[in-house]
Chains A and B, each alone.
Chain A
Amino acid sequence: MSSYLYYPGCSLSGSARAYAESLAAILAPLGVELREIDDWNCCGATEYLTLSPLGGYALIGRNLALAESQRNGTSTLVAPCSACYANLAKTDRFVRESQTLREQLNGALAADGLQYTPGSITVRHLLEVLIEDVGLDELQRHVTRPLHGLRVAPYLGCLVSRPDYDRRWAQHEQPHALDRLMAALGAEVVDYPLRTSCCGGHMTQISPDTGFEMIRRLVDAADRREADLLVTVCPMCQMNIDAYQSEMNHHFRTDYHVPILFFTQLIGLAFGLEPKVLGIGTEIVSAHRALGRIGIAVPPPAEVEVEVPAGQAAPAAREARAKRPKGLPMPRLDEDER
């Protein structure tokens, strides 16, 4: 059993409850233990840095200091929320490279008898841990109900592969880690070039028109590519695309219906776990119809949705795409870039 320090972040006990539940459900079969840091605090999202950069880094630094003092054999800190991950990783990086920040940060932490040794904690995103440490083979070994026929658009969001000041990712814009994971679960992976485009972050709060437009782009691209649903690794992305989709539809007079689930929920489904324990059904844009297509029974949402004959035109279009192209040869891409 491998053990990690765990920083859940605020959303996982609120709006991203489904993320926490599905994560808890898949850990046991995979033999992974997450030890939550005791008395962690909010990472400040993008808001604290706005008012006071040093205050923001001190806020994040307290969590790193707590993690350091609670290491007990493991120094890897796992964050499931991309914003928390980016904040923690960036702070660790900046205190390693800037002596000034190191001194200021530890000066602030000393006010509560804490201190952080730069580099003593390695911050990693949950996705990275599942792919690199657990491994796709191991994940695949637990698959009892492959997601065959489910067209999934992998949506990573911004803050996993960027800013990546530590250069952990070979690709900052089109990484295919989540694609590979979904393929391992048996899903049909849709080529989704917006995989690391922005969900709008807090724009739904401070400039709704801006936020809605960014949500629309993501949903529209998934819809055009005939994805049954989007899958994400970030609570903020999930919240924006899920909770604000109806308001966005209202704003633009559109009627998109693109559900978005956490990748841990799809892993759980593929492992044969019950939808309910995975928090499925808590999404606002219901995945009921999408999952029903591959025979996963999910309780229908309260509101009755108008049933459209699902994906009648799609199969023909899919076959047409599969035809071998003629003409000039294409440049070859490495396995990882594909």
Chain B
Amino acid sequence: MPSAVRTPGQGAALDRRFVDEIRATTVGETRLETCIQCGTCGGSCPSAADMDHTPRMLFAMARAGLRDGVLRSNTPWMCVSCYFCSVRCPQEIHIPDVMYAIKSIATREGIAPESIGADFSRTFVSNIHHYGRSYEVGLVARHYLRHYALRLPGMAPMGIGMVTKGRMGFIPHKIRGIAGLRAILARAGELEAAAQGRKAPA
């Protein structure tokens, strides 16, 4: 892939900084620098077949300083957070937490490769900002109309079933403390930006 092509000098120069950036963004200990490239993660991963790089290879790229290649990889977006890799990793690397960190950097910089995944997260999060809770009908309706309009006819029986069986609440529940929650999330955004030495998001 073209984004992975770099002159040796560039790769070496970027090396430590990117691993440090991931470490600073990950909550909990990453231990990324201790990866022995054994492939336990890539072997365990239930969605590895759909990843462009196995997690192991993504970590090798991160350590080689291939920042752009890592941020454009679909690997973190294919992570289902099943934590098989995490409990099996012989170096106790918190792999899913590293994946969250990489996704958040990629989203922040607007280079998330799998726009559907990032968009789903954004839709989900905007629901939370609106109501404080997840609003399944709104989430699914908006998401499917945007990305899977063609899938809708095939899904009709399921949708009808969900509705007729009373499993879809049409009226969103808004928590009372929504204003307080928004204040907390705004403060969290500021603190996170400050910790990473950036300006707070608008």
Contact = CB atoms under 8 A, between A and B. Distances in A.
Contact of A47 (B47, B121, B137): B121
B27 A111 contact: no
Q: How large is the interface on A (under 10, 10 to 19, 20 to 34, 35 or more residues)?
A: 35 or more
Contact of B188 (A40, A54, A217): A54
A284 B191 contact: no
A14 B121 contact: no
B40 interface: no
B168 A14 contact: yes
Given A39-B175, A50-B104, A55-B185, A173 B84 contact: yes
Interface in B105-160: 107, 114, 116-118, 120-122, 124-125, 127-128, 132-134, 136-137, 140, 143, 148, 151, 154-155, 157-158
A207 B114 contact: yes
Given A98-B27, A208-B151, A51 B167 contact: no
B81 A158 contact: yes
Contacts of A173: 84, 87
Interface residues of B, number: 73
Contact of B27 (A17, A46, A101, A214): A101
Given A47-B121, A53-B104, A214 B162 contact: no
Contact of B83 (A50, A51, A159, A303): A159
A13 B183 contact: no
Contacts of B154: 247, 250
Interface SS, B side: helix
Given A49-B100, A163-B87, A197 B78 contact: no
Contact of B192 (A53, A208, A213): A53
B5 interface: no
B90 interface: no
Contacts of A13: 169, 173
Given A107-B191, A208-B151, A15 B176 contact: no
Interface string A131-163: 000000000000000000000000000110011
A320 interface: no
A53 B132 contact: no
B111 to A, nearest CB: 14
A112 interface: yes
A268 interface: no
A273 interface: no
B25 A53 contact: yes
A58 B190 CA distance: 12
B26 A210 contact: no
B121 A246 contact: no
Contact of B78 (A52, A104, A207, A303): A207
A312 B168 CA distance: 38
A113 B177 CA distance: 11
A288 interface: no
A243 interface: yes
Interface stretch (A198-206, A221-229, A253-261, A322-330): A198-206
Contacts of A54: 27, 188-189, 191-192, 195
